[in-house]
Amino acid sequence: MSRTALQKLKDFIFFPIRAVTLFHDDKWGLSSLRTERFDYASEAVTGYCLDIGCGRDNLFVTQFLDGNGKGLDIFMYDGLTEENITDSFSHFPFDDNTFDSVTFIACLNHAPEPERDTELAEAFRVLKPGGNIIVTMGNPLAEIIVHKVVYIYDKLLGTDFDVDTERGMEEGEEYYLLDSEIRARLKKAGFHKLSKRYFVTQWCLNHMIIGWKPDK
């Protein structure tokens, strides 16, 4: 699943409407913010992928990667099976050098602070040499506003957009991480050649940082 150039243009023009309404499914000829985020991340995936914090229905792997990967979570969201669930992200249940890419799509900030280095070290371990890691993160102010608005939507309208409330926020989780922290932790885990790509159709209020595991 990939957006056309015309679709991206429409998404760019109507971003304020999409951001305020916060719809989670594509409609009105526009992409949801979730679809948009997955589309950008999928462009950076190089092959067989592990998606950490895959969430409801394991959508990134099943719909945007055509099933070429595994989704892993610690909470049994709707649409997940036992093979998607692990007791802890302190150890990924996969062998060394298994995946071409590992994605943390809007979720690294939900790893409690003491566990972030461990999770990134596990990502490094299960990646093949030359594989990449993709971490998406929004602008700090935008992330705070979105989380608050989603919470209000669910309370007032009875929707169920807020997967964080459904799972329950743990101590040490945050609404966002600064790029400086993400880069420092990626380097500590062993990743190099770090780069940043903005989500242009979200007016650059969201982006991803990509790092690579050395070939040898």
pLDDT of residue 25: 83
Point out the least confidently predicted range of 8-22, 75-89, 92-106, 125-139.
8-22
- Whether residue 56 has pLDDT greater than 80: yes
pLDDT of residue 159: 61
Which residue type does 31 have?
Answer: S
Residues 6 or more apart whose CB falls under 8 angstroms from that of 66 comprise none
| 26: region left, alpha or beta (phi > 0 left; psi from -120 to 50 alpha) | beta
201, part of any domain: yes
161, part of any domain: yes
The DSSP element (H or E) to which 131 belongs, if any, is: strand 127-138
- Whether residue 41 has pLDDT greater than 60: yes
85, part of any domain: no
Q: By residue range, what is the domain housing residue 99?
A: 5-78+95-212
Point out the least confidently predicted range of 64-73, 135-144, 170-179, 186-195.
170-179
Which residue type does 2 have?
Answer: S
Q: What is the mean pLDDT of residues 159-179?
A: 67
63, part of any domain: yes
86, part of any domain: no
- Whether residue 95 has pLDDT greater than 60: yes
Point out the least confidently predicted range of 3-12, 86-95, 113-122, 142-151.
142-151
- Whether residue 9 has pLDDT greater than 60: yes
pLDDT of residue 2: 82
Residues of the chain by 3-state class (helix, strand, coil), percent to 5: 45, 20, 35
**What strands lie across the sheet with 49-52, from one edge to the other?**
69-72, 49-52, 99-105, 127-138, 206-212, 192-198
Supply the mean pLDDT for the chain: 90
187, part of any domain: yes
| DSSP track, 14-32 | THHHHHHH--SS-BTTB--
Number of domains within the chain: 1
89, part of any domain: no
12, part of any domain: yes
Global pTM reads 0.88
Q: What is the mean pLDDT of residues 69-82?
A: 95
User: Nearest CA to 7 among 39, 41, 46?
Assistant: 39
pLDDT of residue 157: 63
Model pLDDT for residues 187-209, shown as the tens digit of each residue: 999 999 999 999 999 999 999 99
Q: What is the CATH number for 63?
A: 3.40.50
Question: For residue 176, what pLDDT band results from cuts at 50, 70 and 90?
Answer: confident
| 41 vs 19, higher pLDDT | 41
